[in-house]
Amino acid sequence: MSVPISYYLLLSAILFTIGVAGVLTRRNVIVIFMCIELMLNAVNLTFVAFARQLGQGDGQVFVFFVMAVAAAEVAVGLAIIIALFRNRETIDVGEVNLLKW
Amino acid sequence: METVVFFALAALAVGCALLLVLFRNPVYSALSLVGTLFSVAGLFVLLDAHFLAAVQIIVYAGAIMVLFLFVIMLLNLGSADPLDAIPGRFRQWAVIFLSAILVAHIGWMSLRHMRGGPIENEALATSNVPYIGKLLYTDFLLPFEITSLILLVALIGVVVLVKRESSKAS
Amino acid sequence: MNYALESLIKIAIVLGAVITAVAYTVLAERKVSAFIQNRLGPNRVGPWGLLQPLADGIKFITKEDVIPNHVNKAIYVAAPAVILIPALMGFAVVPFGDVIIVMGQKVELVIANVDIGILYVLALSSLGVYGIVLGGWASNNKYALMGGVRACAQMISYELSLGLSLIGVLMISGTLRLTDVVNLQASTTFLGFLPGWFVFSQPVACILFIVSVFAETNRLPFDLPEAEQELVAGYHAEYSSMKFAMFFMAEYAHMITASALIASLFFGGWHLPGIDPADDSLGVSLLKVLVFSVKTAFFLFVFIWVRWTVPRFRYDQVMRLGWKVLLPIALANVFITGLVLTLTR
């Protein structure tokens, strides 16, 4: 008996929620970024689970695109963080609040 | 057998995800994320997505996380510093409470509505790579080309963002 | 159950063979380098120094294992293991023979005949980066960190040309399974008289792959990360005795896996032009394993030979070569192979 799809969906919901909790709680901007990657992975797992459930390859192709875009996003995001660090000497998101009055 | 492997991988994934959020040292968080990526790759193999499992290891665990580690190490953020002071009891408990509600809701919805076995697709399960390759180059050709453009733009953007302004003596 | 037992036996045999090969490759390196430099090399321990690896092993195990106070203990201890594991795992998909008939059953001489063989190899080479960068970082020594980061930058730059050079092979063979790639080379001919080895139909890819694999395994002429020890310090500066031995073993295990891959992907694996590939009697099967081992040993000899002949690159030369020379050539190779295949099929 194979594992029912609802188990995979529940697992990916748990991973996604842990990612959201991390983004809301942590102050180190790199760790926040890693929690975003965790959320993307949870979503990938959902797509692949549905691809298996419906017997179509579209879910897997979409995951491929998500991974490619995630790679591009990580590169640009880390470049922004490096530029931020060079100017502000901090990576605490509580400190980066220049636009507030 | 498949159930045992699923629960082992699921436990590893959730455990590493929790460690990611709870570790103070960002290098340990990055390594926990690598653990999560490995277990998700294992879950992909269980779901007959062999190509994606390999691409997950090559791209996510082998390139993206290495990039994270480089940035953490070169910005010298290795030590546990007061940057991660706990934001306050109220926010923590609110996050945990709302997360529990979210998980319970999604879990209840999926367990109630997602019944029935999977629709079998032999070609997808056994010859995974040719099937995905054919889909990528026929139905999904436009997104494929656009993705290559996205990667090119990201490449140029990164080089521009990280370039130091040239000083007079360069 | 039968399959599990069969796999366990194959794993035991292959691991045993690879680890023994690692030990004797160290000896071979010392002997070959000695002969190149017109001296004799180790010849006192056993005939022709053949028991030297045993002596080295005893030395490494009995040396005092020092863990400096200022290192990050968990990662410091884990890093040598993290670099050794992908190096050894690469052997799981390499076909070291065709099939062998044992007790009436056909046994494929490959540990895991997965349908993503080539991707598995690429994945393991991307994971090889972790051990070095973690070892360099855990040492809490800025020179070790810079050495580790440079080694990793070199490795990830050459992974690109490694993967792209394999795409030429992939386009011709149409499959990612390594057993199918070797079988295809064994059963076709190139221009009628040469065996269908991919070194003849993809010579540029073969050269690119060999150069990239030299850079991936941090061997001369790309061994700046290790040579920094002569100047300042490398990523394994703070390591001693068994952990240092594991870094060394990992490098040689990587070399052996790389030689096995070159032999399988470009030089026909277990195929010898005179042998009929379909013949699977016991003697011929063992002969095929021997042919594979000889080819792997030959490429190991090439690794050692190049090391003691060629000077090493500077870091900026390494990066320039990887990005500005090898990557465009690899892309051109993919394009031309695609063009030729479209026109001839």
Q: How far apart are CA B32 and CA A38, in angstroms?
A: 11
Please identify every stretch of chain A with a pLDDT value under 50, giving residue numbers as ranges.
none
For chain A, the first-to-last Cα distance in angstroms comes to 60
pLDDT tens string C47-69: 877 888 888 888 888 887 778 88
CA nearest neighbour of C250 among C150, C131, C120: C131
pLDDT at C232 over 80: no
Q: By 3-state DSSP, what share of chain C in percent is helix, strand and coil, each rounded to 5?
A: 70, 5, 25
Q: How far apart are CA C29 and CA B144, in angstroms?
A: 47
Higher pLDDT, A9 or C237: A9
pLDDT score recorded for residue C228 = 55
Segment C78-103 shows an average pLDDT of 87
Is the Cα dihedral C123, C159, C213, B132 positive or negative?
positive
CA nearest neighbour of A67 among B140, B21, B147, B80: B147
CA nearest neighbour of A13 among B14, B32, C225: B14
pLDDT score recorded for residue B168 = 47
pLDDT score recorded for residue B84 = 53
Binary contact (B34, C130; C-beta < 8 A): yes
pLDDT score recorded for residue B50 = 92
pLDDT score recorded for residue C98 = 80
User: Do C244 and C236 form a contact (C-beta atoms < 8 A)?
Assistant: yes
| Chain B residues touching residue A28 (CB < 8 angstroms) | 26, 77, 83-84
Q: What domains are there in chain A, each with its CATH number?
A: 5-88 (1.10.287.3510)
Segment C12-40 shows an average pLDDT of 89
pLDDT score recorded for residue B79 = 53
For chain C, give the mean pLDDT: 86
- Interface with B, mutate which of A41, A56, A73, A87 (most B CBs under 10 A): A41
pLDDT score recorded for residue B167 = 53
pLDDT tens string C303-323: 999 988 888 888 888 999 999
pLDDT tens string C149-201: 888 888 889 998 999 999 999 999 888 899 999 988 888 887 777 778 888 88
Higher pLDDT, C248 or B53: B53
User: Do A61 and B135 form a contact (C-beta atoms < 8 A)?
Assistant: yes
Coil, strand or helix: which one is A90?
coil
Q: How far apart are CA C205 and CA C169, in angstroms?
A: 8
pLDDT tens string C27-40: 888 888 888 888 88
Binary contact (A34, B3; C-beta < 8 A): no
Q: How far apart are CA C187 and CA C196, in angstroms?
A: 7
Binary contact (C127, B129; C-beta < 8 A): no
Minimum-distance CB partner of B66 among C120, C122, C152: C152
Chains near C with 3+ CB pairs less than 8 A apart are: B
Residue A77, judged by CB atoms within 10 A of its CB (0-12, 13-18, 19+), counts as buried
pLDDT score recorded for residue C230 = 57
Q: How far apart are CA B31 and CA B20, in angstroms?
A: 8
Say what the pTM is: 0.90
| Chain B residues touching residue A13 (CB < 8 angstroms) | 102-103, 106-107, 110
- DSSP calls for C179-231: HHHHHHHHH-EETTTEE--HHHH-HHHHHHHHHHHHHHTT-TTS-HHHHHHHH
Binary contact (A60, B111; C-beta < 8 A): no
- Interface with B, mutate which of A23, A26, A32, A33 (most B CBs under 10 A): A26
Coil, strand or helix: which one is C116?
coil
pLDDT score recorded for residue B4 = 92
pLDDT score recorded for residue C74 = 85
Q: What is the pLDDT along chain B (170 residues), one digit of tens a residue?
A: 889 999 999 999 999 999 999 888 888 999 999 999 999 999 999 998 999 999 999 999 999 999 999 888 887 764 555 545 555 677 778 888 888 898 888 888 888 877 777 788 787 888 888 899 999 999 999 999 999 999 999 999 999 988 877 654 44
Rg (CA), chain B: 21
Q: How far apart are CA C234 and CA C230, in angstroms?
A: 8
Coil, strand or helix: which one is A28?
strand
Tokens coding C210: 């060999």
User: Do C120 and B54 form a contact (C-beta atoms < 8 A)?
Assistant: yes
Is the Cα dihedral A81, A86, A92, A94 positive or negative?
negative
Q: Residue C189: beta bridge partners?
A: C195
pLDDT at C288 over 50: yes
Q: What band does C236 get if pLDDT is binned at 50, 70 and 90?
A: low
pLDDT tens string C102-142: 777 778 888 888 888 899 999 998 898 888 888 888 887 77
Residue of chain B nearest C145, judged by CA positions: B73
The ipTM of this complex is 0.91
